[in-house]
Structure 1
């Protein structure tokens, strides 16, 4: 593995760093102020639309998608340092560059598995940033960490599918621009192969029988910039059979294909979140005095900052190795590393942000600094895309298998 960034990555890094300094960081406070004046908290502040227009003008658009036909054509290794940069402002930068979850994963699914009609109707406007989307998989009544537990029914009735079930923490669903749901449910609940019972279908938001019931909070945050996290009911919602993605029984495999890149993208951005926390920690340490000397002269603060730097460097190398493996041997060949970064990165970044909060005192848990919101996002990623314990179980079994 070559640790040097290639020329294209260096060029995009320079452009993206300048874009962050000139446009994104100054827009953070503006976005909060504009949101407070909106008719609905789920509407998009004008400054976010301005950021999207500028990012697209500069060619900082759809960087996540390796498919050159639809995206920037970057490899995972090229995209990793760019996603890290956007992770420094996770509420604004990913949305500004059209690289925000859950749209990224949904666009990957559509690019890989959708037919031409589905791509024209849904993928193209998503790539253009004209609409948003949601991925409806998690359910409140079952342990959704085991996808075979999903109870939503997708029953065929002539030329239509009838969808019945309840989902929650469906990211993006509160955004009024969210026009399409990718819904995972069971088309063959009694099937012999439990991994062939599930299918995925496209369900437009305005389909009769689809109700967005309420916004779910994460540590009190509603995550407005990503369109919130909703509880959604599907009550005999009907869609054409043509809305099936791929084939019946292919939902589990599609979900696994979607989650692999999603996990590494989250970890890439988490590195940026940790870097933002370290920067804030250092600035606070040199600005504040306690007990007669600057916080930067306190031994415990030295330990926190040094440990954070060592941890971030370790995590970055593991993330880059994983990206390189995904590019060279595929997601299946990088399975162990994907699980390793999913376990290690959120846990370590939560600890770094927690130290930064501690150093900021009351300010750390306030709305005047981004640390509390960064903490909520990082802590959630110990659950999202499969909780740590599921990945630990799978990784351990793969290790033990070598000795059986």
Structure 2
């Protein structure tokens, strides 16, 4: 059997296969209040599998942290039951669920931050977008965080982790990728600070360390993962030496003994493929620096997922787009079955249509058999 379909130890848990659901912002909460909706619980329950891992979509840790109207958040009591329903739905199928926690930083707009300017490590020109009641619009001008404000954001991460634990999640993932706030501190294209949080890489990872330690204080290191995007382009992010920067990041994360390192390959940007057929490179150069499980993500198909796990560069592979339209993706990949095409127009908001209404592979086969049996009965009666 291919290694992708065998068991793996990931932090505190033993998984039965290595096909992971990647976190995907789908903008399906109830408004106002970013309340996780029943259709979200259906979506995650459908994609859960016995011994499988789901990384649940990024949840903003405060009003200031929001980037997209309708996206998930975890900062007030009224959200608890919705998150609990999602964790329960995954557990009912024997799966494990980690909730990804995020601060959007400068990728935001005053309409979703309660009127406050978005924040960042430094003020650097940025032409990104945020999702508001008027759709995707240019992000609002941002301001640089005062050094005294950083501790409160770290505390927001800790409180969000406590809420996730109370809701029943098995762990949390720190979103340090895709040009959001943690990533903005790490990379020198967005971090121009000259204080203890800027300058050399040891300073630029200080916010990553403090946020990670806040999550570990709640869950323990073996129930916390971190997602990074070396050479990622989403969010106007950049670094003068990404390989050196993220090799250092991997070493830092390795020292904590975290559950896993989740690596987005540079061939993708958000939900788009930038470089079709480009080989996976990030996980390979990070492997010597991180001794724990590595989850590779970004543009994988069945053959490339099998290959990277067999090579040892990654231990698990996360799928987003293919998982969106194939609730039984691990089963389909293992048995080399056809995949249902994903529907890009349904990625960023909508109803259950093209979200939680995709059938499993067995469902259409069963319908086909029932139709054939009905035809046989009709033929018999006609005879």
State the TM-score, normalized to the length of structure 2.
0.26
Structure with the greater relative contact order (CA < 8 A, sep ≥ 6): 1 or 2? 2
TM-score (norm 1): 0.25
Higher helix proportion (structure 1 or 2): 1
